[in-house]
Structure 1
Amino acid sequence: MAGVLDGVRVLELGQVLAAPFAGAILADLGAEVVKVERIEGGDDARRMGPAFRNGDALNFQVFNRGKQSVALDLKSEAGRAHLDRLAAQADIFIHNLRPGVPKALGIDGETLCARHPRLIYGEISAFGPLGPMAMRPGYEPLLQAFSGLSSTNGGEGDPPMRSGASVCDQGSGMWLVIGALALLHRRERTGRGGLLTASLLETALAWNAQKSDAYANEGSLPERHRSGHPGFVPYEAFDTADGPLLICCGNDRLFAKLAQVLGQPGWIGEERFATNRARLAHKAVLFEQLTPLLRARTRAEWIERFEAAGVPCAPVHSVPEALAHPQVQALGILAPVPGTDFALTAMPLRIDGERPLARGIAPRLGEHNTRHEVPQPTTTQPPETP
């Protein structure tokens, strides 16, 4: 499939995850993404785990697929001058450098956009561009903790928990891409680029908005639920005879269907259970009756019965179970990387019926220096690991 962003050039100074994820999205969509790295070692993600291919970790392949790599010494005048030449050829410039570093290098947004007014400049920070902590660096678990996001994960009595996925890093990369695409559209009308900022803290606050907005406007926080929902009952995972099953009754009609399948038609007319608000108030009583009923049969038996009756449910899969499921297989989201012997999870969207796929393997450090008229770096690459 021809990339929808063919002809768009992106310059990335990304480390580890947030900005590299933004660059990976743009690369999958067809943009030419040139990743600028340190001469010595490059992106730290190259060593985030055991060697996978070309001496680099799998994490590096995931977030840098389909890019080009240029190794520059940005502490030198020649390196900074070459970076400026690359910026002059770019449509979008993205980075997640430590606060203060861009200004010290002369590549902060105000400076770079003054020299290149058509450039769309995007930066990702930990705590945002304003406030007393704007200059502080930060990492995913720190921002999940600081934002309150960790405090709302897990169930009653659990300690604060971080989300398994890097929702702040990857979410910030997504917001930056959304902003860049919006400014590309504006530039078509005005001829000028613009400045974008995103941060892990703001992303965490946005993901947790349902709970924080409840506190800000109603003065209280919803109860914590490991798998459930504060506004619906029953709407969480339950044990069956052989595995957990998630049941989602998002309205009274679905609860009535559940009651019928469970052989409890009397629940439908019982005052404590007849409406969702009543069930919220009498959740413990309902669960005392519901839990042993569900444990009486296997998960597969309940799924067959619930699906036949139209009760939303799903098995709580492990990762291997999810990947092996026919529905996931049919979607083809785990896709081979061209020219390699491995597969990566592709973008979760389709354009004109086709999924944008990785254009190729992640680059070796400085692999594209010659293409961009930069002398090859003097570092050596480790031998390829099978």
Structure 2
Amino acid sequence: MPTSSLQKTALGHIRVLDLTRVLAGPWCAQNLADLGAEVIKVERPGSGDDTRSWGPPYLRDAEGNNTTEAAYYLAANRGKQAITVDIATPEGQQIIRELAAKSDVVLENYKVGQLKKYGLDYESLKLVKPDLVYCSITGFGQDGPYAHRAGYDFIVQGMGGFMSLTGERDDLPGGGPQKAGVAIADLMTGMYSTIAVMAALTHRDRTGEGQYIDMALLDVQVSMLANMNMNYLASGNAPKRWGNAHPNIVPYQTFATADGHIIVAAGNDGQYKKFVQIGGLPELADDPRFSTNPKRVEHRDVLVPILADMVRRKSKQEWIRLLEEAGVPCGPINTLNEVFEDPQVLARQMQINLPHPTAGQVKLVASPMKLSATPVTYPSAPPLLGQHTGSVLAAVLGYDEQQLQALKAKNII
């Protein structure tokens, strides 16, 4: 890559061989691509990443017809080059070894031990690339009694404690465990994997030493419970579900307005006082049951129904305007159409449009990473299956047209 290009991106000097599919691994690879890395996504000939068919919805072409690219796939694969290789064949395995030898990072999320039988595990590939950074992502890690289990985000949300904290209180209608609306264990594993890869690359650049990274969805799910973990470890009592309320602060929850819902996060007594004054019930600020946060927590079952009735008397936008003017933390609960029409989201340019070979244009969500000297880049839309097989094998490995045609004839690429 030209020096001028390297200076414009943080990872323009890095090549990543991406053997992952679905979400956690592709999310990590997409982060690295956004930061400028050359990412080569390897898929099975004919079918590719499972998420390509996880629809509807699918991307539509200029005539409004469905393409073969599911929205799920589009979420995690921008900026990559896509090649197809059958790694179950000796010839396909040789292609992967040759690509690994010319790469800085290998990402994979196969079952434990599956790539070893192909000679594509870390111990095998570091023989051809001693300073390789090799990151494996699985449900439960490379060791332990669950190592050979398949890992699914939904199951891990339950096993890792998240669903014991998420959902309405058990004693209220609709109470019980609830998963997140997105695959948080997968996404956070992708984020932690990105950090681990960056750390390993920094170590390699300082010492010349590569290393193996063992990432597990369950480890990440346990780790990310943060203060709830510590609430348990400090007290010995497992935290309970509180729905849209907070165990330690009142009022810090959702409320139904006359025409929608809002969030009110009164973090101190002064904010609470302003809240009830705006609502026309200033006497609630002086009531000894509610005058301090500890008292409000103690008497939440009395106070919250009163506040809920108060909030229902005004519209969502009226509450937001009045509370913001008074400095009381608040916000709406937006649907996604409202999110992408929000002035702040628009100002931050969180939606991007990229050229697409079959749809003409594809709408995507921008990276949230804002770097001043090395901004993220969006070189290309999520690729079609095998879109770059010929160009990558020619440019990176020097394969000529005769070699490519021979591999295609044998369905290896």
Shared fold (TM-score greater than 0.5)? yes
Match of 2:59 among 22, 44, 52: 52
Question: Once the 2 structures are TM-superposed, how far is the Cα of residue 378 of structure 1 from its aligned partner?
Answer: 5.6
Deviations 1:326-369 (A, max 9, x none): 12111111111145412100111211188624221222222222
**What is the aligned length?**
380
1:229-268 superposed matches below 5 A: 229-268=246-285
1:1-20 to 2 correspondences below 5 Å: 2-20=8-26
Which residue of structure 1 lines up, in the alignment, with residue 178 of structure 2? 161
CA apart distance, 1:288: 3.0
CA distance in 2, matches of 1:357, 1:271: 56
Amino acid across the alignment from 2:316: R
In structure 1, what is the equivalent of residue 63 of structure 2? none
TM-score, normalized by length of structure 1?
0.92
- 2:94 counterpart of 1:81: yes
Stretch of structure 1 that moved more, 349-358 or 202-211: 349-358
For residues 277-307 of structure 1, the C-alpha deviation after alignment (integer angstroms, 9 at most, x for no partner) is 1111011121132121111111111111111
Residue 320 of structure 2 aligns with which residue? 303
Q: Distance in 1 between matches of 2:105 and 2:285?
A: 58
Q: Which residue of 2 aligns with 1:352?
A: 372
- Tell me the TM-score normalised to structure 2 length: 0.87
Equivalent pair of 1:346/1:357 in contact (CA under 8 Å): no
Instruction: After TM superposition, give the deviation of residue 257 of structure 1 in Å.
Output: 2.1
In structure 1, stretches of 5+ residues that fail to align are 381-386
- The one-letter amino acid of 1:62's match is A
- How has the CA–CA distance of structure 1 residues 379 and 304 changed in structure 2, closer, same or farther, with 3 Å as cutoff? farther
CA displacement at 1:205 relative to structure 2:
1.1
> What RMSD in Å do the two structures reach over aligned CA positions?
2.1
Alignment of 1:274-353 (within 5 A): 274-339=291-356, 340-352=360-372
Correspondent of 1:23 among 5, 14, 29? 29
Question: 1:94: which partner in 2?
Answer: 107
Name the aligned partner's letter for residue 182 of structure 1.
A
Q: Which moved more, 1:10-19 or 1:140-149?
A: 140-149
Instruction: Say which SS state the counterpart of residue 75 (structure 2) adopts.
Output: helix
In 2, the alpha carbon distance for the partners of 1:231 and 1:353 equals 41
Listed as ranges, the gaps of 5+ residues in structure 2 are: 61-66
SS at match of 1:280: helix
Instruction: Give the 3 Å change call, closer, same or farther, for CA 80–246 of structure 1 in structure 2.
Output: same
Query: Partner of 2:130 in structure 1?
Result: 117
> Identity percentage over the alignment?
35
Written as runs of structure 1 = structure 2, the 5 A alignment for 1:346-385 is 346-352=366-372, 356-371=376-391, 372-373=393-394, 375=404, 377=408
Partner in structure 1 of residue 116 of structure 2: 103
For residue 179 of structure 1, report the CA deviation from its aligned partner: 0.7
Question: Following the alignment from structure 1 to structure 2, what is the Cα–Cα distance between the partners of residues 321 and 61?
Answer: 21
